[in-house]
Amino acid sequence: MLATLRDESFAEPLRAAAQAGRLMPWTTALTAAAVETCGHLGWRASAKGHQSELLPVSRGEYLALDVMAFAPGENRWQFPLAVMELENQRREDFIAYSLWKLLISDGKETQPTCMGIGVGGDLSVRMLL
């Protein structure tokens, strides 16, 4: 993820949104970076604005989780390889809520990799892996 965020095509929109204090463009840019990172790992991601055809029901977001990544393959129900929450609210309660969603989705059978990304008061990125 950090390598993707260093790429200027992803870094510049994030920087511009952060400097302007615009949360929605920041989240859109960070979502694109997360989806791109999943692609580099050989995973197929689903997120708002990045609809997946991998599962039998095609969606952008599944279960109100910001990004889900799946192994490529046939169109069937499968457990995600990774689940990500990209929180753009500055309040600790909202960031904690996103972490709570990730912890609940981390089932013992599936062991998905959970990553939470929240913003600080200056829109700095905080990652919880």
Q: What is the DSSP string of 32-62?
A: HHHHHHHHHTT-EEEETTB-B-SSSS-BSSB
For position 113, what pLDDT does the model report? 54
For position 75, what pLDDT does the model report? 87
For position 111, what pLDDT does the model report? 47
For position 107, what pLDDT does the model report? 55
Q: What is the DSSP string of 57-89?
A: S-BSSBTTBSEEEE-SSSSS----SEEEEE---
Per-residue pLDDT of the chain (129 residues; tens, 9 = 90+): 888 988 999 999 988 988 888 888 988 999 999 999 999 999 999 999 999 888 999 999 999 899 999 999 888 999 888 888 888 887 888 888 888 888 887 655 444 455 555 555 444 444 444
pTM of the predicted protein model? 0.79
Distance CA 120, CA 79 (A): 31
Q: Would you give the DSSP letter of residue 119?
A: E
List the domain range (segments joined by +) for residue 37: 2-128
Distance CA 16, CA 127 (A): 20
For position 2, what pLDDT does the model report? 83
How many domains does the chain divide into? 1
